[in-house]
Amino acid sequence: MGRKSKSVDEYRKLAEEAGLTWVDKTPPTEVRNSTIWNCSICDRTFTKSYNNIKYGRYPCICRSKKHHHRDDYIELASRLNLTWTGNRLPKNVHESTEWFSKKQNAVFQSPYHALAYGKIPTMYADYIVEGV
């Protein structure tokens, strides 16, 4: 017999911590059973267990440590009214790289994922031009 399920509040809390939305109305009978989740970043809906979410085993490409291409950095910079000034591609989206802020006329370091996915952290907000 597996471990009993968590409460509705525990599913919602885990979803929030993972940047997801828990879509189902009632939890499955065990934490190893699948339920429906939605990614708040890429809007992908998928089924995974509580344990899979807890340990980061879910299919969102937006959360992977994948390697982006030069064009991805240039496109993100353009979208945020920045210039990507990194002289080499980072190993993955979690490694910091250099950006130039046209708004602040300043260079700053940030990983791709901090600017591209979801809410922009407060520490970078002053560098971004709103509504671009």
CA distance 95 to 110: 8
Do 30 and 4 form a contact (C-beta atoms < 8 A)?
yes
Average of per-residue pLDDT across 111-116:
83
CA atoms in the 13 A half-sphere facing the CB of 112: 25
Q: What is the pLDDT of residue 118?
A: 55
- Tokens of residue 77, six digits: 């910079």
Reply yes or no on whether the pLDDT at 32 is more than 90.
yes
Above 70 in pLDDT, residue 65?
A: no
In this predicted structure, what is the pLDDT of residue 94? 76
Percent of the residues in the chain that have a pLDDT greater than 70, as a whole number: 83
Q: Cβ contacts of residue 82 below 8 Å, gap of 6+?
A: 76, 99, 100, 101, 102, 115, 127, 128
Q: Please compute the mean of the pLDDT values over residues 65-90 and round it to a whole number.
A: 85
Q: Is the pLDDT of residue 66 over 90?
A: no
Q: What is the spatial distance between Cα 33 and Cα 97, in angstroms, rounded to a whole number?
A: 39
Which pLDDT score is estimated for 132? Answer: 47
Residue 45 or residue 94, greater confidence: 45
Q: Where are the domains of the chain?
A: 8-63, 70-125
Between 58 and 96, where is the model more confident?
Answer: 96
Burial of 54 (0-12, 13-18, 19+ CB in 10 A): middle
User: Residue 44: what pLDDT?
Assistant: 80
| Predicted structure pTM score | 0.50
The b/e string for 76-110 (b: 16+ C-beta within 10 A; e otherwise) is bbeebebebebeebbeebeeebebebeeeeeebeb
